[in-house]
Amino acid sequence: MTLAATLAELVRDFKANGRIVIVGASLAGLRGAEALREEGFTGSLTIIGDEPYEPYDRPPLSKQVLKGWVPADHTLLPRARELDAEWRLGVAATGLDRAARQVRLADGEQVPYHRLLIATGTRARQWPNPAEAALDGVISLRTRDDAARLQQALAARPSRVLVIGGGFIGSEVASVCRDLDIPVTLTERGPAPLVGALGGVIGEIAAQMQRDHGVDLRCGVSVSALEGDAAGHVRRARLSDGTTVEADVVLAALGSIRNVEWLQGSGLAAGPWGVGCDAGGRAFDINGVVTDSVYVAGDVARMPHVLYEYQFLAMEHWDNAVFGAEVAAHNMVNLEPHYRPHLLLPGFWSGQFGVNIKSVGVPPFGDEIVFTQGSVKDRSFAAAYGRRGRIVAAVTFDHGKWLEYYAHLIEQSAPFPPPPPGWDRPDVMRPVPAEFPAPGVPTAIPDVVLTGHDPNERRAEFRPRGH
C-alpha cells in the first residue's frame, strides 16, 4: 500500500471511529458540529456547555429582545441538520489534560477525546466592585438570562437607565431606551462612544447622533461608585467629575473577557487575548508549536491574518464564529495538503438610533480616514480607513450596499485614498487622522482586537473595566 493510500485509510477510519469533543455550546460550537457531520464524520461527538441552554443567537439580545419583540427564550439557533451528538449542558469545563487527551468537567467527570474544538467564546466583564455589582438593577448583557432580566427591568418603566460604557452594546441599549421613551444616561471614559472600534472622527458623529436622540451622554468621565437603597436596589451613581446620576437600572457594558481560565496548565498558548492558533484553527502550544489534536474557533480564537501584516486578530463577530468553525471542522478530519485557511475579512453591523452602521476590515489598524460618499450631516455616508498608503477598512452609515466594493479593494490592498464609487461624493475628500486611542488609553475595546507579535506594533491592547 502506498503512503497516500495509507493516509487516506487513516482519515476514513478516524471519520468512522474517532471521538471529537467540542467545548462551547455556542454559535461556533454548533456550526462546527454541523460541519463535522457534513464532512462525513460519523464517530462520537460530544458538545459541552456551561449554560443549561442549547446554542442561541446573541445579536437579538441587545435589540429585539430588549424591545419586547422576541422573548429571550425564543432565540435558539436554527439547526442545519441532525447532529447525533451527546449534549453536556449546564456543566463547565474546568481543565484540559492534553497528555491524557481528556477534558475535566466541573462535576468531576473526565471526557476523553481524539480531537478537541475549543469554542468557549467570551463572557461579559462584570462591575468590578462585588458589593455594588450585587445590587438589584445592576445588569450586564451577554447571555439569554441577562437579556431577560434587562428586558423585564425596562418593561417596568424605570425613572432612568445608566449605561456604563459607550461601545456597541452600550450604544445599542441606549438606543433601545430612547425607542421606549426611557430616560438614559451613557458614560464613556473615552472622548466619544465607539471610539475604540471606529476612531474619534466617527465617534464624534456617533456622539452627536446620541445627543440628538435625547441621550444624556457624558464622555471623559468614569463611574466611581454605585449606591443602593435600604432594600438593596441601585439608586444612583457617583461620577469621577463629582456629579451624581440618579438611576434605578444600571447596565455595565464594560467589554468582554475570553473564557480561557479552564486551560491553565494545559500548555496551550492561552491568555487574555484568547487561544493562539494558525489560520487553519490549529492551536499553538506555549512554545508556538502547532498542535494536531486541539483546534480553536469563534471569539476565543486568536490567529494571524495575511492582510494585516500577519498580526494576530481576535474577532468577536458572527461570521467569524461560523466560518472559522467550518474551517476548523474541515481540518480536524483531513490531512495536509487538504487543510483550508480561515481568511475571513472581518465585518460587523449595528443598528442604533435609526441608523444601520456597517463595517468591513479592521478600522483600528488604520491611522487615517477619508469620507468617500454621502453626507455626514445626513448620517448617510461611507468612509475608508488607510495605513501606509493602502486601504484597510471601511465604515458606512446607512450606505451598506457599498461595503462589497470596499471589501474588494481591501482584499486587493488597493491604494488609499480609494477611488469612490457612485455619484454622491462629498465636497471634501481629504484624509485626516482617524483618532484612535493610543495604546494603554482606557476606552471601549473594539470587536476586532489587534494583539500583534511585535510590541511596537500592538494596537488597542488595553482591556480596561470601561467605567
| Same domain flag for 366 and 356 | yes
pLDDT digits (tens, 9 = 90+) for 263-275: 999 999 999 999 9
116 and 185 housed in the same domain: no
Position 466 scores a pLDDT of 36
CATH number (domain holding residue 399):
3.30.390.30
Distance CA 375, CA 183 (A): 29
What is the Cα–Cα distance from 33 to 359, expressed in whole angstroms? 29
Please give the backbone phi and psi of residue 360, each rounded to the nearest 5 degrees, phi first: -140, 145
Tell me, yes or no, whether 431 and 385 share the same domain. yes
- Which of 278, 304, 332 is the last residue before a domain boundary? 332
Q: Is residue 466 part of a domain?
A: no
% residues pLDDT > 90 (the chain)? 85
The answer to whether residue 226 scores a pLDDT higher than 80 is: yes
At 370, phi and psi to the nearest 5? -140, 135
The band of 424, judged by pLDDT with boundaries at 50, 70 and 90, is confident
Query: Residues 115, 130: one domain?
Result: no
Q: What is the pLDDT of residues 17-48, one digit of tens each?
A: 999 999 999 999 999 999 999 999 999 999 99
In whole angstroms, give the CA distance from residue 31 to residue 29.
6
Q: How many other β-carbons are positioned within 10 Å of the β-carbon of residue 297? A: 35
Going by pLDDT thresholds of 50, 70 and 90, the confidence category of residue 336 is confident
460 within a domain of the structure (yes/no):
no
Tell me: do 145 and 244 sit in the same domain.
Answer: yes
Q: Is residue 156 part of a domain?
A: yes
Q: Which domain holds residue 267?
A: 3-58+75-123+257-332
Q: Do 133 and 243 have their domain in common?
A: yes
- How far are the Cα atoms of 230, 247, 342, 464 from residue 131, in angstroms, in the given order? 14, 17, 43, 20
Q: Taking all residues of the chain, what is their mean pLDDT, rounded to a whole number? A: 92
Residue whose C-alpha cell is 461560523: 322
In a domain, 422, yes or no: yes
Q: Are residues 235 and 195 in the same domain?
A: yes
Q: Report the pLDDT value the prediction gives residue 198, as an integer from 0 to 100.
A: 97
pLDDT on residue 446: 54
Section 347-369 average pLDDT: 95
Binning pLDDT at 50, 70 and 90, where does residue 429 land? Answer: confident
User: Based on the domain organization, do 118 and 108 belong to the same domain?
Assistant: yes
Give residue 463's pLDDT. Answer: 32
308 and 396 assigned to the same domain = no
Residue 342 domain-assigned?
A: no
φ, ψ for residue 387, nearest 5 deg: -150, 125
Mark whether 229 and 276 lie in a shared domain.
no
For residue 261, what is the enclosing H or E element?
none
375 DSSP β-pair partners: 380
- Give me the residues paired with residue 96 across strands: 103
Whether residues 94 and 190 fall in one domain: no
Q: How confident is the model at residue 428 (pLDDT cuts 50, 70, 90)?
A: confident
Instruction: Indicate whether 20 belongs to any domain.
Output: yes
Q: What is the pTM of this model?
A: 0.92
Output the pLDDT for position 277: 97
pLDDT at 420: 82
Q: What is the pLDDT at residue 62?
A: 93
Please check the confidence at residue 449 and state whether its pLDDT lies above 80.
Answer: no
Domain end (from 254, 280, 296): 254
pLDDT confidence tier of residue 460, bands split at 50, 70 and 90: very low
Asked if residue 201 belongs to a domain, the reply is: yes
Query: Which of 7-16, 201-210, 372-381 has maximum average pLDDT?
Result: 201-210
**Is position 454 within any domain?**
no
Give the least confident one: 63-72, 87-96, 149-158, 440-449: 440-449
Q: How many residues in the chain? A: 467
Q: Which contiguous run of DSSP H or E holds residue 368? A: strand 368-375
> Total structural domains in the chain?
3
Summarised one tens digit per residue, pLDDT across range 117-159 is: 999 999 999 999 999 999 999 999 999 999 999 999 999 999 9
Residue 286 grid coordinates: 506555549
One domain, residues 320 and 362: no
CATH code at 47? Answer: 3.50.50.60
